[in-house]
Amino acid sequence: MSPAPLAVHLARLSRQPMLIRGDLFSAFGALALAPLPLARAPRLPAPRADDGGDDDCDQPSASPDTDPMPWDARERITLYPGGVAVIPVTGLLARGFDKITAWCYDIGRLEAIEAAIALVTARADVATVIFDFNTPGGYTTGIEEMATLIDRLGQSKVTVAFTSTMCCSAGYWLASQCATIIATRSSTVGSIGTYAAYYDYSGYLAQAGVELKLFRAGEMKGLGVFGHALTPEESAFVQSGIDELNARFLAAVRGTRGAVADATLQGQWFSGAAAVALGLVDANALTFAEVLAALTPPQPTTLSP
């Protein structure tokens, strides 16, 4: 990750309200501080001529020699017979990262999901869209708007959310706008809530003999500066923003999932099996292939007399 994106990323991690599982937030923060994982450097495929096909969609029968670059592959749509398109929703959801940085740090670019939605919306041969989730959540910016796009997509296509791994927090906000949510029994679903983490280093600096002098115009300017302890007014300001965003999150979930109990909306997560009884998931499935088979019309068979 180049210095500029890394600085932006770390600022977001320590300032912006988050829609992500808290335990995974800490792990991702540590990853962002680690060196670039060179072990994941891609093996470049052999050069090939452009076949003139659709550059935005993969066919499930693609051979290894025609696979896209790994940072492209994780964002590409797959088309199946019967008018079924699959859009991956993978990693920590965020805006503002390039493809390679996103691949290295397992970031799911909202720009790619938005482009995929626009593409399938315009294609008359796509009748059903499956969003395949593998995400702990992410940043708040752009999630509400993306959820609205998925809801609008449902006006012209059948929309299905599926997870065999994890669909939490911001990911669940997106999934909740699909007509149907399907999960494997052992997957993880939920973590419906919002939070922000601020670290108070004022005591640490005081022990080191360092005193912060903060000059500002505006009562909330400088909030979150390293070594500055939040005032009661600043804490109330941060909490009001969390409450406002979370209210919209819960309203979106309840608007499509019905009367989900308040006890289910406290930031905890559930197995896919438990999520059915709680109203967060419509049904369980063993595999993605099982879901795909249920949505794909069988091919006609000709019988000879």
Answer yes or no: is 118 within a domain: yes
In the predicted model, residues of the chain with pLDDT beneath 70 are 1-16, 22-71, 298-305
Answer yes or no: is 192 within a domain: yes
**If 0-12 CB within 10 Å is exposed, 13-18 middle and 19+ buried, where does residue 38 land?**
exposed
Domain range for 129: 3-37+67-196+262-295
Residue with tokens 């593998």: 134
Rounded Cα distance, 183 and 273, in Å: 8
Residue with tokens 């590409």: 76
Take residue 143 and report the two structure tokens written for it.
């999630």
Answer yes or no: is 111 within a domain: yes
Name the strands in the sheet holding 92-94, side by side, starting at the edge strand that comes first in the sequence. Answer: 18-20, 137-139, 92-94, 107-109
Residue pLDDT, tens place only, 153-174: 999 999 999 999 999 999 999 9
Answer yes or no: is 270 within a domain: yes
Instruction: Provide the pLDDT for residue 20.
Output: 73
Answer yes or no: is 214 within a domain: no
C-beta atoms surrounding 232 within 10 Å: 7
Domain count across the chain: 1
Three-state secondary-structure class, residue 103: helix
Strands (E), the chain: 18-20, 57-58, 77-80, 84-90, 92-94, 107-109, 128-135, 137-139, 158-168, 180-183, 188-190, 269-271, 283-284
Answer yes or no: is 278 within a domain: yes
For residue 229, how far is the Cα from the chain centroid? 32
CATH number, domain with residue 91? 3.90.226.10
